[in-house]
A and B are shown apart, each in its own frame.
Chain A
Amino acid sequence: MKQTNYDEYIEQYIDNVSLYLTATKKDDVLAELKGNLEGAFEMKQEALERELNEHEIEETFKAFGHPFKAASLYSEQQYLIGPANFPFFKKALVYSWIFIFSIHIISSIIFAMADPNVNFRLFGWLFNSLDSIIFVSLVCVVIFYLLEKNSYEIPLFKQFSLKTLAATKNTAIDRQDLITDIISETIALLWWIDVIKFPSKITFDNQAVMFSFGEVWQPLFWPIAFILGASIALHLWLLTCNYWSKLSVFIELILDMIAIAILIYLITASGYISVNIESDKILDFVTNINLGLFYTLIGILLVIIYETYKHLKIAYNVYRY
Chain B
Amino acid sequence: MNEHELFEKLKLELRRGSLVLAVLCQLNEEHYGYSLRHALTEVGLDIDEGTLYPLIRRLESQGLLTSEWREEGNRKKRFYQISTLGLTVRTALITEWQQMNSSIGELIKGDLP
What chain A residues lie within 8 Å of B77 (beta carbons)?
Answer: 35, 38-39
CB proximity to A under 8 Å, residues B72-90: 73-78
CB proximity to A under 8 Å, residues B10-37: 32-35
Distance, CA A65 to CA B51, complexed state (A): 11
Partner of B78 from the list A2, A32, A37 (CB cut-off 8 Å) is: A32
Interface digits, B55-78 against A, CB 8 Å rule (1 contact, 0 not)? Answer: 001000000000001000111111
Given contacts A70-B50, A73-B53, A74-B54, contact A36 B34 (CB under 8 A): yes
The residue among A33, A36, A42, A64 with the most chain B CB atoms within 10 A of its own CB is: A36
What chain B residues lie within 8 Å of A264 (beta carbons)?
Answer: none
Minimum CB–CB distance for A10 against chain B, Å:
10
Inter-subunit contact A31/B49 (CB<8 Å): no
Inter-subunit contact B50/A39 (CB<8 Å): no
Taking chain A's interface residues, is the majority helix, strand, or loop, or is none over half, making it mixed? helix
What chain B residues lie within 8 Å of A313 (beta carbons)?
Answer: none
Inter-subunit contact A1/B32 (CB<8 Å): no
What chain A residues lie within 8 Å of B32 (beta carbons)?
Answer: 35-36, 39
* A19 beta carbon closer than 8 Å to chain B: no
* B48 beta carbon closer than 8 Å to chain A: yes
Which residue of A is nearest B55, CB measured? A73
* B9 beta carbon closer than 8 Å to chain A: no
Inter-subunit contact A35/B75 (CB<8 Å): yes
Distance, CA A38 to CA B73, complexed state (A): 11
What chain A residues lie within 8 Å of B78 (beta carbons)?
Answer: 31-32, 35
Minimum CB–CB distance for B44 against chain A, Å:
17
Given contacts A39-B34, A70-B50, contact A1 B57 (CB under 8 A): no
* A63 beta carbon closer than 8 Å to chain B: yes
Interface size on A, residues (CB 8 A): 22
Distance, CA A113 to CA B50, complexed state (A): 61
Inter-subunit contact B76/A73 (CB<8 Å): no
* A289 beta carbon closer than 8 Å to chain B: no
CB proximity to B under 8 Å, residues A255-297: none
What chain B residues lie within 8 Å of A69 (beta carbons)?
Answer: 50
What chain A residues lie within 8 Å of B49 (beta carbons)?
Answer: 36, 40, 63-65
Minimum CB–CB distance for B29 against chain A, Å:
16
Partner of A32 from the list B48, B53, B74 (CB cut-off 8 Å) is: B53
Distance, CA A36 to CA B77, complexed state (A): 8
* A43 beta carbon closer than 8 Å to chain B: yes
Inter-subunit contact B33/A1 (CB<8 Å): no
Interface digits, A13-57 against B, CB 8 Å rule (1 contact, 0 not)? Answer: 000000000000000010111111111101100000000000000
Distance, CA A29 to CA B50, complexed state (A): 13
Minimum CB–CB distance for B12 against chain A, Å:
16
Inter-subunit contact B33/A36 (CB<8 Å): yes
25 pairs, CB–CB < 8 Å, chain A vs chain B: A1-B74, A29-B57, A32-B33, A32-B53, A35-B32, A35-B33, A35-B76, A35-B78, A36-B32, A36-B34, A36-B49, A38-B34, A38-B75, A38-B77, A39-B38, A40-B34, A43-B35, A64-B49, A65-B49, A69-B50, A70-B50, A73-B50, A73-B54, A74-B53, A74-B57
The 4 closest A-B pairs by CB, nearest first: A39-B34, A36-B33, A35-B77, A1-B74
9 new A-B contacts at CB < 8 Å, known A36-B49, A74-B53: A1-B75, A35-B32, A35-B34, A36-B32, A36-B53, A37-B34, A39-B34, A39-B35, A39-B38
